[in-house]
Amino acid sequence: MNDSPLHLAVALDGAGWHPAAWRSEGARPGALFTPGYWADLVAEAERGLLDLVTFEDALGPQSAAPHRPDDRTDQVRGSLDAVLLASHLALLTTRIGLVPTVNVTHTEPFHVAVGIATLDHVSEGRAGWRPQIASRAADAAHFGRRTTPQLTDDDLRDPELIAARLRPLFAEAADVVEVARRLWDSWEDDAEIRDTATGRFLDRDKLHHIDFEGAWFSVRGPSITPRPPQGQPVVASLAHASTPYEFAARASDVVFVTPFDRAGATAVLAQVAEAADRVGRDLRDRPLRRFADLVVLLDDEPGAAARRKERLDALAGAEYTSDALVFTGTPGELADLLLDWRTAGLDGFRLRPGALPHDLTAVTRRLVPELRRRGAYRSAYGTGTLRERLGLPTPRNRYAGQG
Amino acid sequence: MPKQIHLAAQLPGIHNVTVWSDPRSGSQIAIGSFVHLARTAERGKFDFFFLAEGLRLREHKGRVYELDVAGRPDNLTMLSALAAATTRLGVAATVNATFNEPYEVARRLATLDHLSGGRAGWNVVTSFDAFTGENFRRGGFLAEADRYSRAAEFLATARELWDSWHGADVPADPVSGRFVRPGAGAFTHHGGHFDIAGRFTTPRSPQGHPVVIQAGESDAGRDFAASDAEVVFSKYNRLEEARAFYRDVKGRLARYGRSPDDLRIMPTATVVVADTDAEAAAYADEITRAQVSPQTAIAHLEAVWGRDLSAYDPDGPLPDIDPEPESLVLKGHSVFRTGRAETARRWRALAHERGLSIRELVIEVHGGQTFVGSPHTVADAVDHFVQTDGADGFVFATHLTPGGLDDFVDRVVPLLQEKGVHRPDYTGTTLRDHLGLRRPPDTGRTSRTASAQWEGSAS
Ligand SMILES: Cc1cc2nc3c(=O)[nH]c(=O)nc-3n(C[C@H](O)[C@H](O)[C@H](O)COP(=O)(O)O)c2cc1C
């Protein structure tokens, strides 16, 4: 049994994760591209004392099919850049962690690292990011610089097949994270000296070229941004198969996994541990927080959430399923499930609200108090950075003392 | 009716403008510094807040340059945050067109325009050097001669992407079940620099297009400004040379079917205000001396001479040895990139004629502070500069972070307001409103040749 505090994250995406969520009662579909919509959601998440919120993103439009674009007009299409959105929300919140999704296949590693360092400065130590590879080949045409593997309909049946086809992109993504981590360390904490006697603002012995050279790119450094307050902002990744488990084991501080029951959670965590072994990561030294993802539709009255989902499914024209378990039930039933699954060794959960704001509010105002009643959730935010809240150690600067 | 003055503020952190040795000098990276300066500018009813960009730390003689403030944020990320700390102030980011791709930049700028409710601006710059390129996937891939053709196509492509969404493309009607109109975001661009197609993801933003700013010097740069920019930054802040630049650039507009009123010219400037002109002059001298420390004087000399001069006394005469015009000791700095043999000749002549030491010479050529005096003197000088067509306004860089703009806003802005040359309050909500610029037409997706559309709207 795990008696460290339970961690809760909420994954924000458009009007919610159900494709017909934008048509449900209380939704604000006309406001999805306004800052006020997001400010209200994140304020609610912070009222619920959640650890962090994540923001979905991609360099192409949403699609009902994970591997190719569609022409549907009956679902939410269109999005804002998640890093900029998170940064905007940083000044409207004070405690909650902000974890945008960032494509690492088509972007510049240098810009990504500087952007996340900036988010960490702006939020004073609450930044994370979820590096994401391009799983849709069509997005490559938006850049015209390269092609990426096209997943087939067959691949979609098995996460292992997906991961096998995208394997080179995962290896490149690991290089992107390595570059980001080196750039964040490239300024030592005491690089700024303001020494009037010698006229020096900086001590260049405390600034470092990172000289990364990999199969896909090279980056010289140092960063243009001083070391972020957390030293190393939190890296989180979503994983469904062996290759992404290995990516998480190499690169991440937090991994989001998608078991469908407690036994599945046990099995997945064993695979994550094996991946850590394979890449030689000592989890006592460099802990990896494991969160299970769940789509949640919550109502107080028994059966109401399932009926709500049926109505949304009817509007969508198909039963909604996901890469993660879709839970319908009462907040109490969800609390039972979370505490049960947790015994598999999970550190926390990332809940994907089926419809916003309804299912977010159900998490913050019903689920959280229920967990608290059971002694399983905090009643105030402590002080400290996102890393500290997640129990991740203060990272040592890899260049410190090298001169 | 006198011309209205357009005011902008910049957080420097580059070159030697910031006097970091002053005890009042705060952090160049803490969010509190940015919020303070942005709110001060908004209190002064400025048009916008601006961030410059340098994508590689400068290096001197092969090592990181230590003497100036360094360390800055990602511009669009920082400005997205500042949009939450302000309500009317424009937020303008410098974003390079060489080490970026149009899809991502257009998306990020459209996002900033959404987050700020229509207050975004984009300073399109063209640094192309291989030194900066070492931080990016493609390295120094672009020839100097191609920098503006890439920038122009980059901008045209960004405009096509912004125009790929019509203002009415998101009905979001739960009754009919139509969230988006068919074809929203579809684009195709086949050009020499970019060959891309697909779907753009960000719906049309409040301004349609963010305000486009440019800061080129060369003939090609000035033409790019005249054909495509809505604001031009310049370094010409002495009245005569500023008027010449103003005439030249405004004179180029007609060639592109645009009128002089379609473009605002804003030199960078500094300001020193005190109770009396004499006090201000003394304070300005003190600031200039702090900006040009003995070490900075030698470093600037080395940058021009292209060789190590660390053995020379900053309070002694200029070196007898000749410059090595081919060797570049200061990298990542645009100022000393070209014309160094000529610069050295001029510096020597000036030092000889006036009997100046190395440091005195560098202080002399540094140019000092732009506007110096009592609040009345400064207000009159700023107004005169604009009314006599030296500029349409200024981008103020301050020597103190973050309090360097306080005096100007508290003591000079009210005088400009009294003169009727600066707004007593914002009259609009967007950056285009503040600058008096038109919105690009939202013609929808039927005619999608953005450059033709743009020129058509301006004629
Ligand atoms: C006032 C001013 C501000 C500038 N700001 C930047 C900047 O922030 N980042 C940058 O890379 N270049 C900046 N530049 C450099 C210009 O983009 C341009 O490269 C330079 O003026 C040389 O012009 P040219 O390429 O037409 O010769 C600035 C130039 C001026 C005059």
DSSP track, A95-162: S-EEEEEEE-SSS-HHHHHHHHHHHHHHTTS-BEEEEE----GGGGGGTTS---PPPPTTGGG-HHHH
pLDDT score, position B305: 92
- Domain closes at, from B318, B337, B366: B366
Does residue B313 share a domain with residue B208?
Answer: no
Average pLDDT of every residue of chain B: 93
Minimal CA separation from A301 to chain B, in Å: 25
Task: State the pLDDT at residue B341.
Answer: 85
Contact at 8 Å (CB) between B157 and B445? no
Q: Is residue B1 part of a domain?
A: no
- Both B69 and B25 in one domain: the answer is yes
**Number of folded domains that form chain B:** 2
Show which of B366, B399, B425 is a domain's final residue: B366
Shortest Cα–Cα distance, B183 to chain A (Å): 8
Using the predicted structure, report yes or no on whether residue B458 has a pLDDT greater than 70. Answer: no
The strand pair at A348-353 and A7-12 is best described as parallel
Given this model, what pLDDT does residue A403 score?
62
Name the amino acid, one letter, at A310: E
Query: Which chain A residues contact residue B117 at CB under 8 A?
Result: 35
- Which residues form the domain of B311? 277-366
Per-residue pLDDT at B331: 85
Q: Whose CA is nearest to atom 29 of ligand 1?
A: B215
Give pLDDT, residue B338. 73
CB contact at 8 A, A166 and A133: yes
Tell me the pLDDT band of B324, cut-offs 50, 70 and 90. confident
Per-residue pLDDT at B241 exceeds 80: yes
| pLDDT range class, residue B459, cuts 50, 70, 90 | very low
**pLDDT tier for residue B335 given thresholds of 50, 70 and 90:** low
| B386 or B454, higher pLDDT | B386
- The verdict on a CB contact (< 8 Å) between A87 and B185 is no
Kindly state the average pLDDT of the residues B298-324.
93
Task: Tally A–B CB contacts below 8 A.
Answer: 218
Banded model confidence at residue B24, pLDDT cuts 50, 70, 90:
very high
How distant, in Å, are the alpha carbons of A114, A134, B55, B128, B208 from that of B81? 15, 27, 20, 28, 21
Q: How far apart are CA B363 and CA A9, in angstroms?
A: 56
Assign B14 a pLDDT band (cuts: 50, 70, 90): low
Contact residues, chain B, for A315 at CB < 8 Å:
177
Tell me whether residues A225 and B72 touch, CB distance under 8 A: yes
Are B202 and B101 in a shared domain?
A: yes
| B413 and B360 together in one domain | no
DSSP assignment of B414-455 equals HHHHHTTSS-SS---SSHHHHHT-PPPP--TTSS--HHHHHH
CB contact under 8 A, A200 and B184: no
Same-domain check for residues B229 and B94: yes
Q: Which residues of B touch A29 (CB under 8 A)?
A: 172, 174, 179
Given a cut of 70, whether residue B453 has pLDDT beyond it is: no
Euclidean distance between CA atoms B396 and B198, whole angstroms: 41
Interface test with B, best of A202, A206, A218 (most B CBs within 10 A): A202
Residue range B38-89, pLDDT digits in tens: 999 999 999 999 999 999 999 998 899 999 999 999 999 999 999 999 999 9
pLDDT at B450 over 60: no
pLDDT at B334: 64
Spatial neighbors of A78 by CB under 8 A, at least 6 apart, are A32, A33, A61, B165, B170, B180, B184, B185, B201, B202, B203
Tell me what the mean pLDDT of segment B211-226 comes to.
Answer: 94
Write out residues in chain A with pLDDT < 50, as ranges: 1-2
Query: What pLDDT score does B88 carry?
Result: 98
Q: All domains of chain A, ordered by start, with CATH?
A: 7-254+288-389 (3.20.20.30)
pLDDT at B366: 85
B152 with B96, same domain: the answer is yes
Any residues with Cβ below 6 Å from ligand 1, and which?
B 52-54, 94, 125-127, 215-218, 220-221, 233-235, 268, 334
Q: How far apart are the first and last CA of chain A?
A: 45
Kindly state whether residues B201 and B334 are assigned to the same domain.
no
Q: Do B217 and B147 fall into the same domain?
A: yes
- B30/A35 CB distance under 8 A: no
CA of B38 to the centre of ligand 1 (A): 22
CB contact under 8 A, B31 and A91: yes
Average pLDDT over residues B201-210: 98
User: A187-215 pLDDT, tens per residue?
Assistant: 999 999 999 999 999 999 999 999 999 99
Residue A213 makes CB contacts below 8 A (sequence gap 6+) with none
> Does residue B328 surpass a pLDDT of 90?
no
Chosen domain end from B366, B389, B422: B366
CA-to-CA dists, residue B5 to A162, B176, B383, angstroms:
59, 49, 7
Residue B130 has pLDDT above 70, yes or no: yes
B288 & B435 share domain: no
Question: Is B384 among the domain residues?
Answer: yes
Q: What pLDDT is attached to residue A272?
A: 98
The answer to whether residues B195 and B102 touch, using CB atoms and an 8 Å cutoff, is: no
Q: Is the pLDDT of residue B451 over 60?
A: no
Residue B228 DSSP label: H
In a domain, B313, yes or no: yes
| CATH for B142 | 3.20.20.30
Measured between beta carbons, the chain A residues lying within 8 angstroms of B99 are 108, 111
Same-domain pairing of B266 and B177: yes
Structure pTM?
0.97
On whether any CB of chain A is under 8 Å from the CB of B195, the answer is: yes
Whether B285 and B260 map to the same domain: the answer is no
Judged by DSSP in three states, A54 sits in strand
Q: How far is the first Cα of chain B from the last one, in angstroms, to the nearest whole number?
A: 25
Kindly state whether residue B316 falls inside one of the protein's structural domains.
yes
Beta strand A254-257 with A128-132 is unpaired
Q: Which residue among B101, B135, B196 sits closest to A220, beta carbon to beta carbon?
A: B135
Whether residue B294 is found in the same domain as residue B282: yes
Residue B64 within a domain: yes
